[in-house]
Structure 1
Amino acid sequence: MNVKNLIEWTEELSVGIQELDEQHKVLIELLNRLHEALITRTDILVINEILSELVQYTIVHFAVEESLMRILDYPPYEEHKKYHEELTRQVVDLQMKAKKGEVTASMQLWRFLRNWLTRHILVEDKKYTHFFLERGLRKTWMQRSWKEKIWNYVRS
């Protein structure tokens, strides 16, 4: 069964920095895979695998953002970091519940997916774009990113 993606990448989601946009696209892909697995009532082992990948990727993505914030001396760094910690806690909590067989296509999961996108990418991440660019961060990158190298190592 082919389920339509819950979330489609649009320019509205772009923070205007290619490296971070590419990471957000991966997060969206993982969320869509999770959505499809839940809708099609995929085996819980597959759901757990997707959640595990989402947890790992979330940690890598947040580490990249937080590193940039520290390097560029982003004033609301601590506030943004707390938000990251809360999101990570939510993802890990969902993962633990799924491992115990407690997570299905529940309202808790749907709220998490909705809030993840609307709050994190559309609101929180867009706050730093102008600041990062003013501090000299490039909009685009020309070679394989260090985040990709880390992620490929984590996946192996």
Structure 2
Amino acid sequence: MDDADLKAILKRVKTVAIVGVSANPVRPSYFVARYLQIKGYRIVPVNPGLAGQVLLGETVHATLADVPVDVDMVDVFRKSEAVPGIVDDSLARWPQLDVIWLQLGVRHDAAAAVARARGVTVVQDRCPKIEYQRLFGELRMGGFNTGVISSKL
């Protein structure tokens, strides 16, 4: 997937279900959820161990089937072996789902093929927070050369 496609995803998505979110603020799933929320996305936390609790101002749901709102993207913080079930649950809950995003280190080509066959965009082994920062010029603050020119003449 090229940068233009990633940028288009990050511009059009508004509501993100975060599967495997943690309440621990030092865990990547927590700070990605918090970052996306700060950037204006609505996050919908999903974690059976935290179900019913409030995290970042949102009620945590046990499963995707329990989520009472439509989402544009499902962001997966689970092991690759869990992806087929998450894809199936996502497609059952939201037949018109736009994006399934698998976090860094998470890949499942067969499950991705199932989602793509249903018209869903799949991003694997990437982080939306990192991609947002890279594509919208924020990583430069951390000393990274993003390849994005942000100064204007």
Answer whether TM exceeds 0.5 for this pair.
no
TM-score by length of 2: 0.27
Query: Which structure dedicates a bigger proportion of its chain to helix?
Result: 1
TM-score by length of 1: 0.26
Query: Which structure dedicates a bigger proportion of its chain to strand?
Result: 2
